[in-house]
Amino acid sequence: MKSSENQLTEESESKSKVEEDYYISVQEYTGQGYKLPNGEKTDKIAKEYRKEIDKAVKKFFREKYKTEVIVHNTVGAVDGATVFVESVGEPHFHTFVVIPIDVDEEEVLTDQVWSQEGEVENAIMAGIYGMIYEEEFNKLDQYLDSIVKEHPVTGIRQEALEKVAGGKFSTPYYYVNAIEYEFDALLKEYLKNPHMEKATWKEKFKGATFNPEGLLITLDLYMSKPNTEPDKVIFDKIVSDIKNMEGLPSGAYSIILNDNLISKRSARGTKDNSLRSADPDYIIK
């Protein structure tokens, strides 16, 4: 009997150690421990050549997307490094690109920066949509600010959003994905005239009609207290409020409420106990 108790204690301690290694309170997480598969060697090289990588990535965005960016973080991955950036000014967005690294030669291939298909384009389009429908997103922001003040829920820290989230048009409480074929006109207009004034953008496109399912708006919230399960009452209130609220941005809404822990390695909080109202049960606005 005593042996069984000792075994249960060891298993419990082992489980706690695994959770400590993998998870951290969302309020404490700033991107520490974030890893990509097989990135140990490239991560080391990327850190040594950070200035060269920053310069190459900024050049890539200027030339291909007519956009100035701030480089927030570089993380080693297989055969290269993933570089997380934020646009300067508006349209405002976060995204990432990849820079190849020759591990054998310990060389960063600064002339071969590339982006995953549609990744940056998606972020630009979502940022433009957020700029055009600024008033509607302000209403969503105000609502979520009130929820956080009135209930024990929170979002990710701004530092984590910048360093590892790569979340398109995003805030600590939500992120927005624009499906390319629905918003391609925005991207084409931007690449022709990236310095267009916000007022002109609003004038040109505010009356345009888009399929709401082409814009995915994900509210991703956390319990603010440690060792607390996601609260079904709070979750149901948010779902009901979003369903019934007028004046929000058009889109297909997903709502996720997690416990207080976020994965250090993946920067994700969704687990088996998370409460979700998502695909295929989007809230269409």
Token code pair at residue 103: 């591990």
Rg value, the chain, Cα: 21
Cβ–Cβ contacts within 10 Å for residue 30, how many? 17
Between 39 and 182, whose confidence is greater? Answer: 39
Token code pair at residue 183: 């918003």
Handedness of CA 181, 185, 191, 195 (dihedral sign): negative
pTM (2 decimals)? 0.87
Is 252 in contact with 213 (CB distance < 8 Å)?
A: yes
CA distance 138 to 144: 10
Cβ–Cβ contacts within 10 Å for residue 191, how many? 14
Instruction: Provide the residue ranges of all domains of the chain, joining segments of one domain with +.
Output: 32-116, 121-284
Note the CATH number of domain 32-116: 3.10.450
- 128-145 pLDDT, tens digit per residue, is 999 999 999 999 999 999
With a cut of 60, say whether residue 225 has pLDDT above it: yes
The pLDDT mean for the chain works out to: 90
Exposure letters 149-182 (e unless 16+ CB within 10 A, then b): eebebbbbbebbbbbbbbbbbbbbbbbbbbbeeb
Residues paired with residue 86 on neighbouring β-strands, in sequence order: 70, 94
CA distance 244 to 23: 35
φ, ψ of residue 247 to 5 degrees: the values are: 85, 10
Cis peptide before 91 (omega within 30 of 0): yes
Give me the pLDDT at residue 37, please: 87
With a cut of 80, say whether residue 20 has pLDDT above it: no
Percent of all residues in the chain with a pLDDT value above 90, rounded to a whole number:
74
- 241-276 pLDDT, tens digit per residue, is 999 999 999 999 999 999 999 999 899 999 999 999
With a cut of 50, say whether residue 126 has pLDDT above it: yes
- 269-281 pLDDT, tens digit per residue, is 999 999 999 888 8
E strand spans, the chain: 23-25, 69-77, 80-87, 94-102, 107-108, 153-154, 169-170, 174-178, 215-223, 252-258, 261-263, 275-277, 283-284
Mean predicted confidence (pLDDT) in 175-197: 87
- 149-178 pLDDT, tens digit per residue, is 999 999 999 999 999 877 789 999 999 998
